[in-house]
Structure 1
Amino acid sequence: MVERSVLTQEAFEDLARHALRVEEAPWLEFLDGQPVFKTRPYGSRGRIIEWLTRLCVQAEQDNWLFAAQGLHIETYRKGNARPDGALAPLDTFVGQGEWASPDGVLMVVEVTSCDEDTDRRDRVEKPRAYAETRIPVYLLIDRDTCEVKVHSQPDGVRYEQVVTVPYGKTVELPDPVGIELDTEPLKNWVR
């Protein structure tokens, strides 16, 4: 049996500080006591985040979709996540630094990437971690299945409601986001 070593929160933050000095370094997250490397959004993934940012700002000018804002996920995982986007009021993260409190976050967004861990990370670990943190809405834009999944009503363990629609349909991002999302443009940014 192979023993897994557990990385401490402090060691992870030190590793993340050094990795961010490299221009093309991956994003680092810390879930289930393990460091997770995630590729930065570029190309079509970056374009999806830009598109969604515009829609969020048009709907509510006092909110912003912060790309790459690190969040402390303070449930039993005692970890950090860096969603592709975190929708929050403009001043939510002022003075908090790289790893901020998720308090005030209205929605987190993940866009599936091409790496081998996307299934486990974006479809299993992230919904659980965000629900435990009680972030109201988790939006998964799944480029593998060409679907959008809207997770809502976190109960502290999981999201009680998950709505899945194929690209091209309209889906409601429930309160506190309150945006009707036409997913037709996503057809242009499939891998």
Structure 2
Amino acid sequence: MTAIAHEPLTQEEVLLEGFLALDTPEGFRAELIEGEIVVTPPPDGDHEDYIGLIVEQVHMRSRTRMQFAGTKGLILRKGGDCPKDRVIPDGTFAPRELRLYRGAGSWMPCDGVTMVLEVTSTRPKADREAKRRCYARGGIPLYLLVDREASSVTLFSDPEKDDYREHCTRPLGKSITLPAPFAFDLDTTDFL
């Protein structure tokens, strides 16, 4: 009988295994963001209201039929020896014809996702910085951030490496243009 030699797990592999084995309480969200395990509590009603207002406008006004998934786990590429980020945006949008979510498990690759949506809650700095970098590294074309603390909405676009090269910020109550494939001005009047 011969013993099979196994290579020891790297620190990153141990972190990923530990993360995937987490049993978070119902309603809580666990994410692996830039090598840190982040657990967030369930969102409040205003948070969900903003998401609903955005989804409604996308479905009614977008030039391309879009499919939406709330809190869908995304596996995002990452360079070097670090584990892949596993992030759960407040929402993802993809062209309906791709049917990205069909047959997807709890975690899916981000290929084909056109826009991610975040509404700030308990960790606004993570939404403004770490998640923005993760989405850019994943090559997601658009990142829409509703920042309740700053009372603004920002659209990040043109991802390159660890960030987006373009961004446009508008105060809540003003419109912000969503480019193709959406191609309409998102009205944030009802966010006030």
Q: Normalised by the size of structure 1, how large is the TM-score? A: 0.85
Is residue 80 of structure 1 aligned with residue 86 of structure 2? yes
CA shift digits 1:142-163 (9 cap, x unpaired):
0001000110011233111110
Q: Distance in 1 between matches of 2:65 and 2:179?
A: 17
Cα distance change of structure 1 residues 157 and 53 upon mapping to structure 2, 3 Å threshold:
same
Q: How do 1:105-120 residues align onto structure 2 when only pairs under 5 Å count?
A: 105-113=113-121, 115=122, 117-119=123-125
* Contact residue 136 and residue 176 of structure 1 kept, 8 A: no
Distance in 1 of aligned mates of 2:147 and 2:50: 11
Q: 1:13 aligns with which of 11, 20, 28?
A: 20
- Provide the rounded CA distance (Å) in 2 between the counterparts of 1:178 and 1:73: 26
Per-residue CA deviation, residues 67-99 of structure 1 (Å, 9 max, x unaligned), is 100000121351200000101134112112011
Mapped to 2, the partners of 1:146 and 1:94 lie a distance apart of 35
Which residue number corresponds to residue 103 of structure 2?
A: 95
Aligned-residue offset at 1:164: 0.6
8 Å contact from structure 2 (residues 120, 149) kept in 1: yes
1:167 to 169, 172, 176: 172
Q: Aligned pair count? A: 175
Q: Distance in 1 between matches of 2:176 and 2:164?
A: 17
Conserved 8 A contact 1:169-1:182 = yes
RMSD: 1.7
Give the whole-Å Cα distance in 2 for the aligned partners of 1:135 and 1:30: 17
1:93-121 residue CA offsets vs partner (Å, 9 max, x unmatched): 211201111111110011010x2x321x1
State whether residues 148 and 167 of structure 1, in contact with CA within 8 Å, keep that contact through their aligned partners in structure 2. Answer: yes
Q: In structure 1, list runs of 5 or more residues that go unmatched.
A: none
CA distance in 2, matches of 1:36, 1:134: 22
Sequence identity percentage: 33
1:183 aligned to 2:188? yes
The Cα shift of 1:40 comes to 2.8
Q: Is the 8 A contact 2:34 2:134 kept in 1?
A: no
Q: CA contact under 8 A between 1:151 and 1:162: conserved in structure 2?
A: yes
> Structure 1: how far apart are the matches of 2:102 and 2:166?
31
Structure number, greater radius of gyration: 2
